Amino acid sequence: MVRDGYFYALACVVAAVLIGWLTQPVWAVVPMAFAMFFLWFFRDPERVISDAPGAIVSPGDGKVTDASVVNVNGETQARISIFLSVFDVHVNRCPIAGVVREIRYQRGKYLNAMNTASAEQNEQNIVRMEGEGQVVVFKQIAGLLARRIVFYPKVGDRLQRGQRVGLIKFGSRVDVLLDATAALQVKVGDRVRGGESILAYLQPKSELASAGRYFAAEGTR
């Protein structure tokens, strides 16, 4: 359980007690129902993390809405997009073992996370990781209902594959951008589980000359 769930649930329980005391007990049912919802929404189940070399695991639970090769700032990359509904676990996990090289928060819109335009226009947190001789960028993207993105690590932190790194509250999307040569293991429509489902396999590279291209190009816009 993410501790935020206890805070939200406690507030609802207090509201239920006050409403039941000031009006009729039956009206306390609504805030109590919200308390149960928050306890369920902020669940944080344990997951079995793959130790396969080059495996990229899903940053979140949800439905794959895109798994294709795209052009990002003139560079060809593979992109995997995952939509998290309010019914999915919203704890985010690190897709690769490595070091956090850059974190950039981008303010923006709150389009429906199923909209392809949300990948660039919505409020989001963009993280660049280096590990296993590869560079992986993943985004926490706010959705129509999401209004807060949480990311715990800092630049320079070394993370483990599948490690908990944050969450997005109430409906959202996560994108993973990686080398175009990656062997994708998922397709549109697949259901994935954060930290457990393997999205792709990467081949180690000896050089990381292109590591900063994505962020450098973004910074010139």
Residues known to be catalytic = 172
59 Cβ neighbours under 8 A, 6+ residues apart: 82, 92, 93, 94, 95, 138, 140, 165, 174, 176, 194
C-alpha distances (whole Å) from 20 to each of 31, 34, 36, 97 are: 10, 15, 17, 50
- Find the helix or strand (DSSP H, E) in which 149 lies: strand 149-151
Q: What is d(CA 5, CA 80) in angstroms, rounded to the nearest whole number? A: 29
- What SS3 state is found at 200? strand
- Find the helix or strand (DSSP H, E) in which 4 lies: helix 3-22
97 Cβ neighbours under 8 A, 6+ residues apart: 131, 132, 159, 160, 161
